[in-house]
Structure 1
Amino acid sequence: MKTLLNQILIFLLAGLFSCSSDSEQGAVNAVDPIDPPENFPNILLIIADDMGKDATFGFDQGILKPQTPNINAIKNTGVSFQNFWSYPTCSPTRATVITGKYGYRTGVKWAGDILANSETSLQQYIDNQTNGRYKSAVVGKWHLSGNTANFNPLTFGLDYYAGILGGSVQNYFQWDLTTNGSTSSRSGYTSKVFTDLAMDWVEAQSSPWFLWLAFNAPHTPFHRPPAIMHNQGNLPNYSDGMDPMPYYLAAIEAMDFQIGRFLNGLSQQERDNTVIIFMGDNGTPNQAGQSPYANNAVKGSLYQGGINVPLFVSGQGVQRTADDFSLINSTDLFSTIAQLAGVSASEIHDSKSFKHLLTAEGNHREFQYSEMNAPNANKWTIANGHYKLIQGSDGLEELYNLESDPYETIDLIPPGLSQEAIAEKEALEAALFNIFN
C-alpha cells in the first residue's frame, strides 16, 4: 500500500498533472455519429457559487434554510442526485465541467488556476459533434482565465460571454462587466444584471441554445440584496462582526428570485423544451457552514461538506421525480450535456454520461474522485459509496466508512483497520492507480 502511495507521489511530482494525452485530444477531434434531426432541447446550466447542502432545501444537513421556491421546483419536478461530487473550490469544478477532465490533467486544482485555451471546451465539443446545431453562451462568473480580458472566454468556442472574469466582486452593486472581451464599469445588482443579459441573449436565439448561467451568489462579500428579492426581513447594511448567516441566505433567495424571473420569461413552449440543470460548485464557506459539518469540513476541504453538493435536473425529457444515489462526478456533466445536445458518445476523458438516469434507475460509476492543490500539498480523495479514502503528497491518509459515519468523524486508520477495511482501502488505491495512469 505504501509502495502504491509512493508511485502516486512520484506521478504528482513529475508534473504530469497539467498534461493531456494525444489519445484524449483525438477523441475530441473525431466526430461521432449524431442522432437524427429532431426538436433538440435547450439546455440551461445554473451554477450557484458556494451553496452547499446545508444551505439547500430538501437535505437533512443544516437547520437554517433560505426560501427558494424556484430552485425547489427544479428539484421536486426532476432528479436530485444525492451523491454528486464537485471540487472544493470554484475554478476546478468549472474546469471539470467544461473539459470533462480531472484537475490534474488540466492543471486547474484550486481557485484562480488558469485553464489553458488549448483545452477543448464543452461548447466547442458540442459544436464540432453536431455541426453547429447549438448556440452557446456563458453569462456570469467565469473564473477560469484570470482577472483580465486579455484571455477572452470566447477563445473557448462560446458565441457570447458576459460576466465577471474573476472569482468575486468587491461590491455586488458596482463592479466590472466583461462582454466578449471588453470590460467596463457596471452598476446594478449582479444577480439581476446577469439574468437580464441571459434573458436578452435567449430572446435573440432562433436555434437550440445552451446557456451556462453562473451566478456569483452567494459568494462573499456578504451584503444586503434588494428587499424585493429576499425574505430575511429588514436587514441593516452588513459590516464585519455581524452574523453573516441572514445575509448569506438573503443572497441565495435573491438568486432564486432571479432564476424564477428567467424561467417565467420563457414562453411555455420554450420552457417545455428546456432541460434545467442546477448545481453548486462547492460547499458552503466556513462563515456560514452549519451542523453536521465541522468548520474544517466545508468549502476548501475534501470532506463531504466541501464536495458533496446539490445537483438537480428537470425539464424536457426528464421522466423521473426521485432522489438518485448514483455516484456522480462534476466531470460527468460534460458527457451528459453533450448527449442531451444529440452527441452519441457517452464517455470521453474522465466523463461518463448519466443521461440514462434521467429516465430510469440504473448503474453509473463504481468510484468517484476529487482533488485539490492545498497550500503545502496536493490532496486527493476517492470513494465507492461505502468507504472513502483521502490522501496527500505530504503523507496524509484518512479512511472513512460513509455508510456508518457520513460526516467523517472517525478516521479508521489510527486504531488499525479491520480485514474488510483493508480490502476496501486496497480497492480504492487500485482505482486511484488506474485514474493516475
Structure 2
Amino acid sequence: MKNSTIAASLLMATAISGAGQAMASPNVLLIIADDMGLDASACYNVGNQQASMPNIEALCEAGLVFENAHSSPTCSPTRATMMSGQYGSRTGVGAPVATDGSDELSVDTFTIFDALAPTGYATNLIGKWHITGRQSGYGAPADMGIPDYFGPYFGGLSDYHNWTAIENGVEVEIEGYATTIQTDRAIDWVGEQEQPWFLWLAYNAPHSPFHLPPADLHSSHDLEDDEAAISDNPLPYYQAMLEALDTEVGRLLSSIPEDTVVMFIGDNGSPNQVTSGVYGEHSAKASLYSSGSNVPLIVTGPNIDAGRTAAFVNTTDLAATITGLAGTGFDSQDSIDFGPVLAGAEGSRNFLYVEHFTERETKGGGMYGWAYREGDYKVVVALDADVELYNLVEDPMEQNDLLADGGTTEHLAISEALSAAREAIVAPAN
C-alpha cells in the first residue's frame, strides 16, 4: 500500500472510530522512535529539515498533538520513566544503561506491565530494551511482567541488517532490516490477539549508525551508499531512516483494529550530528535544554479530540495514562494521567521536570543536572555551571539566560522558587 493511501485510510478510520462511543477497553499501541526530536517532524515548526513522514503527519491531522511533552535527555532514563512511572531520582536510572548493568532499572520495580496484568489485557514489548544490562540477565523483561519480549537488548545496533535480538531469553542472530523485522513482529503479534491488548513497540530508528535504508522504504534514491558520504553529511541519511520508519509505521497502522489508541513519541532530542544550528548554540540529545527533552507526542484513537494542546506531559505520565485507558490505575505520585486532555479537558500537571545524572564515566558525555519549569519560566541547573533561567514563552529556544548578568531581583526570586519546587517533587515518595 502506498504511503498516501495508508495516510488516507488512517484518517478515515480514525474519523469513523472517533464518531462512535469510546471503547470500554481500547487496544493501546505505543510507538517509540529512538533519537527523534521536534526538529525531525513536520508536525512541529522547529527548523526546516523535517523528513518526509506522511503517515505520522496523518496521525497529527487525525489526533492530538502535544507541544509540551518532555522526556529525559537520553534513552534509558526515558524508557525507565515510562516503564516505572517514576522519576530517575527515585529509580536510579539517570543515564544510558551500561552493558554491565550500571544505572539499570531494578527488576523488582513495579511496572506498567505489572499494573496491566490483572486487567485481562494481552501485553508485549517488541524492539529496543536498554533498561537493564547483563547483570540482570536476559530474563529481565519477563521479571518485569513482559511475557514474550523480542528485540535488541542494549543501546544501539552496529548494523541494521545483521543484528542480535533476545527472544525467549536467549540471543538469536537476525538477518533483515531492523525497522522492517520489528514491524513484522508487531503485525504478527497484534493479529494473534483475541482480547484487548497493549503493545510497546520501540524502534531503533532513527538512532545511529546512519545508513541508507532499503530502497523501497524511502525516496532518497540519489544518495550514495558510502561511509565517507554518510560521515560527511549524515542529515539526509537520518531523514531517509525516518522516512523508512514512517513507511513501516504506515504498514502497521493499516493492519490494526479501529478501536486502538495510538501513541507516537520520541525518546529524546535528535542526534547532535544532524541538528547543528537548529537550536542556536545548544546541543540536542543529552541536553537539559528543551532541545534535548521536548519530544513529539501524538495520540489518536476513539473519542480523542483532534488538534493541538499546550498541556504539560512528562514521560512518567504514560504509565498512569495507558493503565487508565485500560480501566485501572498506576500508583505513583510521579505519573499523572493525561487522559482528560485527550477528551478536551485541562491537564493536571503544572510543571515539567527533566534530569540527567550518573555516578560513572560515560562515553557519550552530555549535560548533567536537572531542569524544572512552571508556567512561563524554566530553571536549568547543570553540574559545574551557573544556574540559568529562561522565559519559554518569550524565548522558546532558550537563547536569553535571564541570570546571565546576575539577574534582577524578580528573576532571582523566580529561580529560587523553581529550585525549591523541584526539591519538593523529588522528596521521598509517600
TM-score bin (small chain):
0.7 to 0.9
TM-score by length of 2: 0.87
Query: How well do the aligned residues superpose, as a CA RMSD in angstroms?
Result: 1.9
Aligned to 1:168, the other structure's residue is in SS state coil
Match of 1:42 in 2: 27
Amino acid at match of 1:313: V
Would you say the 8 A contact 1:292–1:407 is kept in 2? no
| Residue in 2 that maps onto 1:304 | 290
Q: 1:63 and 1:290, CA in 2 relative to 1: closer, same or farther beyond 3 A?
A: farther
Unaligned runs of 5+ in 1: 1-36
Aligned counterparts, 1:293-372, within 5 A: 293-294=279-280, 296-318=282-304, 320-344=305-329, 348-372=332-356
CA distance in 1, matches of 2:377, 2:39: 22
Q: Partner of 2:122 in structure 1?
A: 135
Q: Does residue 110 in structure 1 map to residue 106 in structure 2?
A: no
Letter of the 1:179 counterpart: E
User: Aligned AA for 1:47?
Assistant: I
Aligned to 2:156: 168
Residue 274 in structure 1 maps to residue 260 in structure 2: yes
Q: Pick closer, same or farther for the CA change 1:38–1:257 going to 2, 3 Å.
A: closer
- Residue in 2 aligned with 1:159? 147
Note the alpha carbon deviations across 1:32-64, whole angstroms, 9 max, x for none. Answer: xxxxx9741000000000011111112111212
Count of equivalent residues? 392
Cα offset for 1:414? 2.6
Distance in 2 of aligned mates of 1:295 and 1:248? 21
**Normalising by structure 1, what TM-score?**
0.86
Conserved? CA contact 2:35–2:266, under 8 Å:
yes
5 Å-filtered alignment, 1:233-252, equals 233-240=221-228, 241-252=231-242
Q: Which residue of 2 aligns with 1:62?
A: 47
Match of 2:374 in 1: 384
User: Which deviates the most, 380-389 or 93-102?
Assistant: 380-389
- Quote the offset at 1:378 in angstroms: 4.7
Q: Distance in 2 between matches of 1:147 and 1:295?
A: 37
**SS of equivalent to 2:396:** coil
The 2-side partners of 1:38 and 1:288 are apart by: 41
Tell me, yes or no, if structure 1 residue 226 matches structure 2 residue 211.
no
Distance in 2 of aligned mates of 1:262 and 1:422: 50
Aligned in 2, Cα 1:397/1:139: closer, same or farther, shift over 3 Å?
same
2:119 touches 2:326 (CA, 8 Å); kept in 1? no
Deviations for 1:348-383, whole angstroms, at most 9, x for unmatched residues?
230101000001131322211010016598501101
In the alignment, is the contact (CA less than 8 A) between 1:61 and 1:290 conserved in 2?
A: no
Asked if 1:263 is matched to 2:248, the reply is: no
Question: Bigger shift: 350-359 or 293-302?
Answer: 293-302
The one-letter amino acid of 2:352's match is Q
Counterpart of 1:367, as a letter, is F
Asked if structure 1 preserves the Cα contact closer than 8 Å seen for 2:280 and 2:399, the reply is: no
1:86·1:309 contact (CA, 8 Å) conserved in 2?
yes
Residues 307-343 of structure 1 deviation map (CA, whole Å, 9 limit, x = unaligned): 011000001231x111100111111111011101111
Structure-2 change in CA distance of 1:299 and 1:38 (3 Å)? closer
Q: Tell me what 1:99 maps to.
A: 84
Tell whether the 8 Å contact from 1:62 to 1:290 is kept in structure 2 after alignment.
no
Alpha-carbon distance between aligned partners in 1 of 2:185 and 2:340, rounded to the nearest angstrom = 32
Asked whether the equivalents of residues 94 and 355 of structure 2 are also in contact (C-alpha less than 8 Å), the reply is: yes
Matching of residue 430 in structure 1 with residue 417 in structure 2: no
Q: Is the counterpart of residue 416 in structure 1 residue 406 in structure 2? A: yes
Matched residues in 2 for 1:220 and 1:62: separation?
21
For residues 93 and 53 of structure 2, the distance between their equivalents in structure 1, rounded to whole angstroms, comes to 31
Q: Which residue of 2 aligns with 1:146?
A: 133
Q: What is the SS of the residue equivalent to 2:298? A: strand
Whole-angstrom distance in 2 between the partners of 1:210 and 1:259? 16
- Mapped partners of 1:359, 1:327: distance in 2: 15
Within the alignment, does 1:89 sit opposite 2:95 as a pair?
no
Q: Give the AA of the match of 2:166.
A: T
Deviation at 1:70, TM superposition (A): 1.0
**Structure 2 residue matching 1:246: 3-state secondary structure:** helix
C-alpha distance after superposition, 1:88-140 (max 9, x if no partner): 0000000001100000111111112311101011011122xxx2411111000
| Contact preservation (8 Å) 1:222, 1:238 | no
**Bigger Cα displacement from structure 2, 426-435 vs 375-384:** 375-384
C-alpha deviation, 1:263, in angstroms: 1.2
User: 1:119 matched to which residue of 2?
Assistant: 109
1:198 lines up with 2:186 in the alignment:
yes
Instruction: Give the AA of the match of 1:136.
Output: T
How far did 1:183 drift? 1.0
SS of the residue 2:353 aligns to:
strand
> Is the 1:277–1:312 contact (alpha carbons within 8 Å) kept by the matching residues of 2?
yes
- Partner of 1:352: helix, strand, or coil? coil
**1:349 aligned partner, one-letter code:** Q
Q: Counterpart of 1:317 in structure 2: which amino acid?
A: N
Question: Once the 2 structures are TM-superposed, how far is the Cα of residue 295 of structure 1 from its aligned partner?
Answer: 5.5
Distance in 1, matches of 2:191 and 2:404, equals: 59
Distance 1:179 1:294 in 2: 43
- Alignment partner of 1:186 out of 174, 178, 202: 174
